[in-house]
Structures are given as C-alpha cells and as structure tokens.
Structure 1
C-alpha cells in the first residue's frame, strides 16, 4: 500500500509540474511573440526598372535596419493593371500587416481593395491628383508615402531644355498612366509659358517606345522622358534614337542619366524608398495611423549630367553647366 501511495503521489507531482511547465511555456511564447512578432508586408511594383528597384530596396533596408521582424511578399505586375488588381486582392486575402505600393497604379489598386490595411506608397508623382491622399500634409484614410516629383523639377527641366536652344520638345508617355498624364499637362503648360512648343507620342506598352521616339525625328529638337514607367523601362531604345539623330534626350531622374540620358534634375529613388520605409516603421512599430503621417516630396534635388551622352547627342556643355552639375558617365553591365 505504501508503495502504491508513493507512486500515486509521485504521479500527481509530475502531473502538476507538467501543467506548470505547459503554462510557463505558453506564457513565454506569447511574450516572445509580442516582443518580436513577425510582420508580413506585401510589396507591389508596377514594372521592373532600375529606379523602382532602388526604391524597393531602400524601403526594405529601412525596415531591416530598424530591426523589425519582417517577411516581405514581393509581386511584380509586369506593367499590367489587371495584375495590379489581382496582387492587391491577394494581399488583402492574405491579411498582410501593411502594403508597400511602388508606383501610382500599384497604390491606386491597393486602395481600391482596402480601406483598412495601411498602405505606404512611393514613386507617385501626384498623390493628391491620383486620389491617394486628401493633402500631402494631412493624408487622411489609410494611405501615406513619398512622391517622386519635386515641385521645382519640371520648371528647372523646361528651362534647361530652353537653354539647350530647343524650340520644340518631344514627349513620349503612356496615356493610361494617371501619373504620366499629370506630368504631361504640367510640362505642356510650362513649356508654353517659356515659348516652347510640344509634340506628343503616346504608347501603351514598352514595345512601342522605339517607334514613338522615331516618330519625333524631324519634329522635335529635344526629347523629354518623364517618370513614365512604361517608357523608362524601354529608355535605351529612345537613347539609341537620340544618338543616331543627334537629339538630346533629357530625363527626369538620376538613374536614367546613368543609363545614358543627357541630364536630369532629380534625386536617388533609393532615398524616397527609404523614407517610405521610415513611415512604415511609424505605423508598424510606433502604432501611428497613416492618416496622421504627412506624405512627402523628395529631398536633395540636384542637376546630374552625363558627359558621354552629351558627346553622343551632339550637345556642347558650357563651363557654367559643368560647375552646376554632378557629372557622370554611362554605366555599363560588365
């Protein structure tokens, strides 16, 4: 009997100890999850090209440097708005913690699908005009982010083209991109105010860009490439026409200058991606609402000129221009 009693007592002690261990383990797991819970961020990007890629990298680096435990779900729309919508629907279905939308169409598709999940955008030219935010200072809703057009970019670019001696500016863009239409309207108005004429060529896919550039030969003294995702993804075809026909090809961001564009008043897309990442941190780590986080324009606007492109396009650079600009040469894949 004593042996049986001892066995029963031992069994009871082991059972109580096991229950205690189970409760302790559950408590430790919950505590660990609260302190370092894995967050899922859906990344949607309209198309692959160097500027947008750098913005995405900047965003991811900001989150990683902050030490957040983040899993990134990355999707590329291949320039197709139907894909944009499906990607947004997927992220909503997956109940991601935040959506990072890299481009105007990507952000619009995300907002069409959810008013609950926080959305942080970048590479958007006109956030207000695109219907993403109520104002830059007070976005409202579930969206905030960083724009890719400084208010001084277009005026400075138009003046630069005028200083080149051009009288007619060729514009290539995708009329299906809200981002592009807003820019073209702005460029056309400022060009007219500065005594310049404009001639337009529209495209619907990157495969049409070279033909559009060729259609401007004999009509335009210079070609301006805005931050149109479709056109920038096929930039080299426009630059080729610029070389062959001795037409200056002015671009709108620094990555395109390094790819062979003549010049741009721009900034590094990595920076606006990183700044967007900092806004995501305010939301995910600090608990702020996107509606209370101001959307921002890019900082550090500066002129960059490609000296290789100047020579290949028949542009003579003055000493004054060289002193004002950061001078670079065309980067080549080796």
Structure 2
C-alpha cells in the first residue's frame, strides 16, 4: 500500500486508517475479511480502500452506505461488485486489474517456454471469490492455444496445503504452471517458486513481484502505478464525488518480465524472440 499512500502527495494522511487487526490481511486470512471491514465501519471512516483482490467482496457485505474503492480486482462485474465498469452504481468504484483479459497472453507466453508437453496446471485458491472467473477464462483460452488445463486448488493458507497441491502437480506430470494470484498464494510466492524449480516446471505469475520471488515470468499490470493512481479516486470521493459517478478504471500500463536465473535453474532455454519482447529481464 506504500504506492497508494505516496499517491496522496501533499494530502492529509491523517485521514488514512487501517484496522487494528490488519495483520490478518497480510497473512491472507480471508475468513477474517468481513470482520476487518466491520471494524473500519466502527471507526466511522469516510472511505474504505479494499485491496488486494477478493477483499472488496467483504466490504460490500458489511456496508451499502460507506463509499469504498477496490484495488486490483480482476473482474468486478463478474463477482457482483459493480453493475458495469462505466456505471458502477451504489457505493463502489475502483481499479480493475483485468487479469481475465490478460490470462490468454500469459498462457501464450508460458507455452513458448514449455517443452513438448501441452498440459498446464493452474494453481488457484477457491476460497477467494475473484479467482473462479479467472480459472474459467484460462480453461477457455487454453483450448485455442492447444493446451489442456489441470486446475490445482490450494485448500488452505498453510505451508502443508501448498505442499499437498504440489504433490498433486507432480502426479499430473504437467509441463507448466500458471498461478492465479491472491493474498494466500502471494504470501507463499517464494515457496511456490522453490517447489516449481524442484520439479523443473516453468511458471507464470500476474505481476513482476512473482518473478522477483522466483517464478520464471509474469505479464500483467504495473501495480505500483495502479495503486498510486488509486489515491486520486479516493481524493475525488473526499471532495464529494459519489462512487457511482466514478467509472471503474482499467490499467493501461503492462509489463512482461522474465527471470533468467530461474530459467537456468529449470534448464530452460528462453527463445531469443521471447527475450526481445520482455520489458525487463532479471539476471
């Protein structure tokens, strides 16, 4: 959230509050999100900022009066946050991360780094409502690319849950792994990278933070730019604009990042054509 706070510039940061139990968010305790949202309501805040993906649903469940701005929601219409992007309605607006639109691109790029196998695993957290629409998009996009999708769900937030998921991945003999990001998986991104490298499995994530954590590649929004811009929406609400009158905005800046250190550990030779398309190559 630091880029978001920086986005306020010279605005009065005394208006910004976080729940006393916000560590539950950092630890991805999704079941606690409604209680955290209720805590903010008790503080009588003027605006709620809901991030990361999945947290805005909790905010909507506890208030239809307090304005809130969501950040990085992949498909806010599909999960019922807003009526439409142009006319969100109610007390909600925000920034859509367009994960669903980007998934076909991620699969296409991942395919170029895979060996002969056409089987791709999709690691996802079914407890997060924002992830199911993305899984469906991946399944539809895979067919056009000649790929077969094998969903692998992570059944809880613990390390053992992740280990069980990778045991299933190993049994499935997959050729690559697409990670549908959420707070639970994000907290384990280094472990995910470690387990994937151990199994010689090329991986793709949603933004550069995953590549910095050890995944092979990512294609997605510039989160720093997105969160910084989110502050402008909050500022407009502070100044009296209704969320219903603020169209949901979508990212315009995307980046493709490759981790060559991971490629070397995997024994994968990244095609020169793919390297040429990368916005950044980590060595």
Using structure 2 for the length normalisation, give the TM-score: 0.90
TM superposition shift of 1:242: 2.0
TM superposition shift of 1:82: 3.6
3-state secondary structure, aligned to 1:161: helix
Q: Distance in 2 between matches of 1:111 and 1:154?
A: 26
Structure 1 residues 82 and 239: alpha-carbon distance in aligned structure 2, compared to 1, 3 A threshold:
closer
Aligned 8 A contact 1:264 1:305 in 2: yes
Aligned 8 A contact 1:305 1:325 in 2: yes
Write the mapping of 1:1-334 to structure 2, written as runs, cut at 5 A: 56-63=1-8, 65-75=9-19, 76=22, 77=24, 78-150=27-99, 152-164=101-113, 165=115, 166-207=117-158, 208-218=161-171, 219-285=173-239, 287-329=240-282
Q: Distance in 2 between matches of 1:93 and 1:261?
A: 40
Q: Which has the higher helix share?
A: 1
TM superposition shift of 1:151: 5.5
Q: Name which one, 1 or 2, has greater alpha-carbon Rg.
A: 1
TM superposition shift of 1:233: 1.5
Structure 1 residues 237 and 151: alpha-carbon distance in aligned structure 2, compared to 1, 3 A threshold:
closer
TM superposition shift of 1:317: 1.3
Can you list the C-alpha shifts for 1:147-167, whole angstroms capped at 9, x where unaligned?
222564112111112223440
* Higher RCO, 1 vs 2 (CA within 8 Å, ≥6 residues apart): 2
Aligned to 1:37: none
3-state secondary structure, aligned to 2:7: helix
3-state secondary structure, aligned to 2:263: helix
TM superposition shift of 1:100: 0.6
Aligned 8 A contact 1:133 1:140 in 2: yes
Q: Distance in 2 between matches of 1:324 and 1:81?
A: 36
TM superposition shift of 1:236: 1.7
3-state secondary structure, aligned to 1:266: strand
Q: Distance in 1 between matches of 2:101 and 2:92?
A: 24
Q: Structure 2: any 5+ residue segments left out of the alignment?
A: none
TM superposition shift of 1:326: 2.6
Can you list the C-alpha shifts for 1:214-270, whole angstroms capped at 9, x where unaligned?
321252101111123222211222211222221111111111111111111113212
Taking only aligned residues, the RMSD between alpha carbons, in angstroms, comes to 1.7
4+ long deviations beyond 6 Å: none
TM superposition shift of 1:66: 4.1
Can you list the C-alpha shifts for 1:44-63, whole angstroms capped at 9, x where unaligned?
xxxxxxxxxxxx11221112
TM superposition shift of 1:103: 2.6
Using structure 1 for the length normalisation, give the TM-score: 0.77
Structure 1 residues 81 and 228: alpha-carbon distance in aligned structure 2, compared to 1, 3 A threshold:
closer
How many residues were matched structurally?
A: 273
